[in-house]
Structure formats: structure tokens, C-alpha cells
Structure 1
């Protein structure tokens, strides 16, 4: 599927099988619903240090932090999972946004029994997933029951629709 022109096109119930390239959307403002295929999943950032996301005061979200840069998304994609590591014990909530915090597309709550005891891996639900166009930045914000955690870490699993 090679989209070179036209705005706000809608695609629904498409299955890609055995293609080397599934979608090449040069326009970047299409609407994707129920897209299936053999798509690669990559963990970002591709390192063992993650992205640091500080929380705000107690029970308040901190500033949204870029997890996946817009420039790295050169085709439609979705976020299918995350690994998160809390700096300290307590209740934590993480939001993911595709518009730098104006709204969010996923929120998860975790309870960390001990500081940096283990990374928590989560899968985002299927059937309700958002498919984002190329050039979309993904950010995250964090809050905790304690507040002022400065070194919470996150990695996201991105699945390309190409």
C-alpha cells in the first residue's frame, strides 16, 4: 500500500501477508482500524538504560518526556507494550501520550513493593490499540504516591505497520 497523496484517508480491516513493505504512507494523516500482519516489534530506546521520567509532587504527574522521537517514526505504528522501573516503593501511575500531554492514549497503575526491585513489563490491550501515523512523537508522564522520584525508567515496544 503506497500512499503518495490525499488527506485523511480511512483504512479498515486489512490483512498483510508475506510483504516486504506493507505500508508506505508519505502523507501521514490516514486513519487505521483493524490492521493485521507480520509486523516487527522493537523496544525503544534500544539500550539497557531506558528513558528517565521524573514524577511531580506527591500524587501529581510530572512533565511529559519524549520516549520515541517523531523523526524515528517513518511509517504507521502502534505501541504494544512497555517496561517500567520505579525509583522508589509506592503506588505509581504512568500515562502515554501522542500529543505531548493534551490527552493520553494509555494509563497504567503499578505498586512497587521496593525501590528498583524489578522492571515491570506490561502489554497494552488489543482491540483498543491506537495506530499512529508517521512523524508522531510518543511521550510519557509519571506520578507516584511519594512524589519527587527523579529516575523512573521506561522502555516502549513499538510495532511498525510496514
Structure 2
């Protein structure tokens, strides 16, 4: 009978161990479920962060492209300004120099004729200060007819 009692005691002990291990297994299963849920949420967050990062990188690339285009536009405008400046200097400047020289020569001639033949002062319209300044900015030197006459007299 001792053997039967020992068998029963061993079986009870094994049953108790199984219950304890089953409880421990259930606790571990709950912890694993929690950790899996946390890992799943963390993975979702990382995917969301990665997607947001990619969107920001795309936006940055778009902005960089816009800046490149603005720089290209600025460079194009610089070229146009330079070409216009050269065109002005090559086309308009010689014509303005010739016209202004003729204007002053004819004006002087007319004033001399009126003074010498009619003995009167003739006040013809002159090139105004603003026009003179623009001509000077273009590199065209204009003599004021009255200053030249004063220097002659």
C-alpha cells in the first residue's frame, strides 16, 4: 500500500506542478499578448512615421525643384536684361547721339541767325534735365547750348 500511496502522492505532486505551470503559462501568454499588441502598435507607428517622412521628402524635392525653376527664371531674366542693355547701347545710343548732336547744332544755328540778323533772343525748347540725365546714363554727353554760348562769350 505504500506504493499506492506514493503513487498517489506523486500524481498529486505532478498535478500540482501542472496547475502551477499552467498558471505560469497563462501569465506568460497574457504578457506575450500584451507585448505583441505593443509591438504591433509600435510597428504601425513606425510605418506612419516612415510614410510621413517620405511625404516630407517629396515635399522638399518639390520645393527644391521650385527653387531651381526660380533660379532658372532669374538667370533667364538676367540674360534678357543684358541683351536689352547691349541692344540699347548698340542700336539706340548711336541714333540718340546723332539726333541730340543735330538738335543742338540746329538750335545753335537758329539762335545765331536770329541774334545776328534779327538782333533778338530766340528761346527755343531745350533738352530738359531729365532727358539729359537719361542720355548721360546711356553714355551720351550733351552740352547745354546756353552753357556753351556763355563759355564762348
TM range (shorter): under 0.3
Q: Which has the higher contact order (CA 8 A, sep 6+)?
A: 1
TM-score normalised to the size of structure 1? 0.19
Task: Select the structure of larger CA radius of gyration.
Answer: 2
Question: In proportion to residue count, which structure has more strand?
Answer: 1
Q: Which has the higher helix share?
A: 2
TM-score (norm 2): 0.19
